[in-house]
Amino acid sequence: MKTRTKQRTIIEHSQFRQMLSYHTCYTNKSEQQDIKNSLKGEIMAAYEDKWQRLADGTRSAIDELCFMATEKGFCYASKGYLTRHNISKRTLDRAINFLSNKGLIYIAYRRRGCLNLTGKPVFLFISHPYFEYWTSFLSLNVVDNDVANVVTGNSQTVSLSIDSADDPFSTSFSPRSLSKESVKDRSENDETPTDSDLDYLPQYIDKEFGTIYKVHFGLNVARINQLWKILHQQAYKANIEPENVSQAGIWSLKQLIGQMKIKKVKNIYAYYTQIVKDKCHDIFLDECENEYGADFSKLAFEIPH
């Protein structure tokens, strides 16, 4: 009988929240592109001539992994999300296993619920400047010589600027960080996103929606895309007109931010889903009244005796 000899690293829920709230590695778009090119360049070098023979979907999935990892050195996109590049999960697994065997990524796993089981994977890029910090923070058992050399090289050229007196984490989803003063400070520091900052958002996402999210939470393409996906799911269920979808999403996002200013929201996706659902329902009723003169809000149903 086969037994599993490799112990998997499990990331606790509190640890993962801290990882998400850590500040970004780059300060501008140019630095972000340089980090992405560096991560992708190492992968291309590992594949050698095989890189050009890979399917377009495989190369696109790897490119997106590198892009998502530039911000904090890790990516937690699900396999279902990455297979949207027209590749199978088996093909994606082969690519991820190749990167892991070559010592380019370290795979950890989020804890599944409150059980001692592994959940979704988190891909940590070993050559990213923050990997040395994640090694210490997560107590990773990194013993490979190549990995150790990469970590040593990064420690000589990149400073994480971690001071024991300063907490490097920010409570991104707590009411305090969403107070009026914090929003005002961001605008005074010229951190309001410009059109060029949002160029690398998918074209199907409304720029105003991305701008509002960026002002309050920072630019995170994966989260913006997830909220936009929730919006379209609820809009499809409510059967509202396409031209009203963006309006529903922007209004709901503003409502979410307003609620987070006064109370702590444990799951912003679930909370946002409920807000969007109610808003899409209201829009559907308005469309029915405007188009057909039918006011369904006044209908009353009685159960026959």
Tell me the per-residue pLDDT of 201-253, one tens digit each, with 9 for 90 and over: 777 888 888 888 888 888 788 888 889 999 998 988 888 888 889 889 999 99
State residue 178's pLDDT score. 45
Average pLDDT for residues 32-43, to the nearest whole number? Answer: 92
Residue ranges of the domains in the chain?
A: 10-157, 175-294
Which pLDDT score, from 0 to 100, does residue 7 have?
Answer: 74
Q: How many CA atoms lie within 13 A of 215 on its CB side?
A: 21
Query: Do residues 251 and 278 touch, judged by C-beta distance below 8 A?
Result: no
**What is the model's pLDDT at position 293?**
61
Residue-level pLDDT at 96: 93
What is 225-239 written as a DSSP string? HHHHHHHHHHHHHHT
Strand, coil or helix: 11: strand
pLDDT at 170 over 50: no
Q: What pLDDT does residue 294 have? A: 55
Instruction: Name the average pLDDT for the chain.
Output: 77
pTM of the model: 0.48
Question: In the structure, what pLDDT confidence band is assigned to residue 302 with cuts at 50, 70 and 90?
Answer: low
pLDDT for 10 beyond 70: yes
Pairwise CA distance, residues 124 & 104, whole Å: 9
Q: Is 186 exposed, middle or buried (0-12, 13-18, 19+ CB in 10 A)?
A: middle
Instruction: Name which residue leads in pLDDT, 165 or 287.
Output: 287
134-169 residue pLDDT tens: 988 888 876 543 443 343 344 333 333 333 333 333
For residue 267, what pLDDT is reported? 85
pLDDT tens per residue, range 179-208: 333 333 333 334 444 555 566 577 788 888
pLDDT of residue 285: 85
Whether 60 has a pLDDT exceeding 50, the answer reads yes
Residue with the larger pLDDT of the pair 113 and 103:
103
Give how far Cα 70 sits from Cα of 20, 117, 188, 208, Å.
13, 28, 26, 24
Average pLDDT for 100-108: 93
Residue ranges of alpha helices (H) inside 29-121 are 29-47, 50-53, 56-69, 79-82, 89-101
